[in-house]
Amino acid sequence: MKKNSINDDLIERYLDNTLPVVERELFDERLKTDPTLSKEFTDRIMLQKSWVKVTMHNQVKQNIGHVITIEKQYRKILTTKWLAAASLVVIIGIGSLFFLQNNQNTKDREFLLSSKGINKDNGEKMIQGRQNEVIKYGSVDSLVKNKPDVNKRYSPADNAVFNASDTILFTWPANDMKGKLIIFDQKGLKVLEKSIQTGLVEYKLLPSRLKPGTYTWTIPTDELKHQFLIKN
């Protein structure tokens, strides 16, 4: 053990090149003749080589790991950016749909109040009729659910309520009219039949033409009958 220790010191001093010339020559000579020293020297060199290789291996591996982490992090950022952009497009798309829907509703309302044969007074009466619907169904939501199909533009809508003093405005899609508007009373008796010129889309029924009661109205091409009520 002591000899090994002495050899270790000698080897380190030999590698440092700090041995005096004579001792260095002696060491070189011993390397050739002393198998123990020769083995220790070879092991020392082999261990140093392995140690340095291990360090180099770890350095390279660490560097690769670092680069891969950066690449993954970058991809993550890129993915997040794409997702954010896609979300923005979806939000804008949904917003546009809402906007277009609202725009369509406004246009329908403007159509009903437009100057095409409807004066302001009649328009207000139409609005009044709708307000009555609100009272009947109890909320704006229910009105929205029960409002007439604006695309077909049949008015008065089902279950609309009017006062006897109201002028009632009948409207229908232009293409549907084929000659006449018919109104039935509660017993199914025809109480009014009005010839309409092709192309007209509305008819105003002046106040007091009908007694208070429940009526239905239809036009021949429209299979549905629309019910409305006239109060005192």
Partner 1 sequence: MNDQLKKDVTGLSHSFVLRYNKIKYTETEILEGIATNNDNMIRYIYKNFFPGIKSMVHSFHTLFLDAEDVFQEGLTRAIINVRENRFKGTSSFYTYLTSICRNVCLKEIQKSVKTNDVSTSVIAMEDTETPDDELINRMTVLKDKMDEACKQIIDLRFGIQKDKILLPEEGVSLENTRFEEIARQLNIETDNARQRFKRCFEKLKTALSNDYLWRELAN
Q: Which amino acid is at 39?
A: K
Q: Whose Cβ is closer to partner 1: residue 26's or residue 64's?
A: 64
Among positions 3, 12, 26, 174, the unique one binding partner 1 when judged by CB under 8 A? 12
What is the closest distance, in whole angstroms, from the C-beta atom of residue 12 to partner 1 in the complex? 7
Binding mask 27-66 for partner 1 (x = CB under 8 A): ----------------x-xxxxxxxxxxxxxxxxx-xxxx
Specify the stretch interacting with partner 1 by CB under 8 A; choose among 7-15, 27-35, 134-142, 203-211.
7-15
| Calpha distance 168→157 (Å, rounded) | 11
Binding mask 69-88 for partner 1 (x = CB under 8 A): xxx-xx--x-----------
- Give, as one character, the DSSP assignment of residue 150: T
Indicate the SS3 state at residue 216.
Answer: strand
What is the closest distance, in whole angstroms, from the C-beta atom of residue 23 to partner 1 in the complex? 17
Binding mask 93-132 for partner 1 (x = CB under 8 A): ----------------------------------------
| Calpha distance 34→39 (Å, rounded) | 9
Which residues share a beta bridge with 230?
162, 213
Number of other residues whose CB lies within 10 A of the CB of residue 142:
13
C-alpha pair distances (Å), 168 with each of 111, 149, 203, 229 = 17, 18, 8, 11
Sign of CA dihedral 64, 66, 69, 71: negative
Could you list the residues that contact partner 1 (CB under 8 A)? 5, 8-9, 12, 15-16, 18, 43, 45-61, 63-71, 73-74, 77
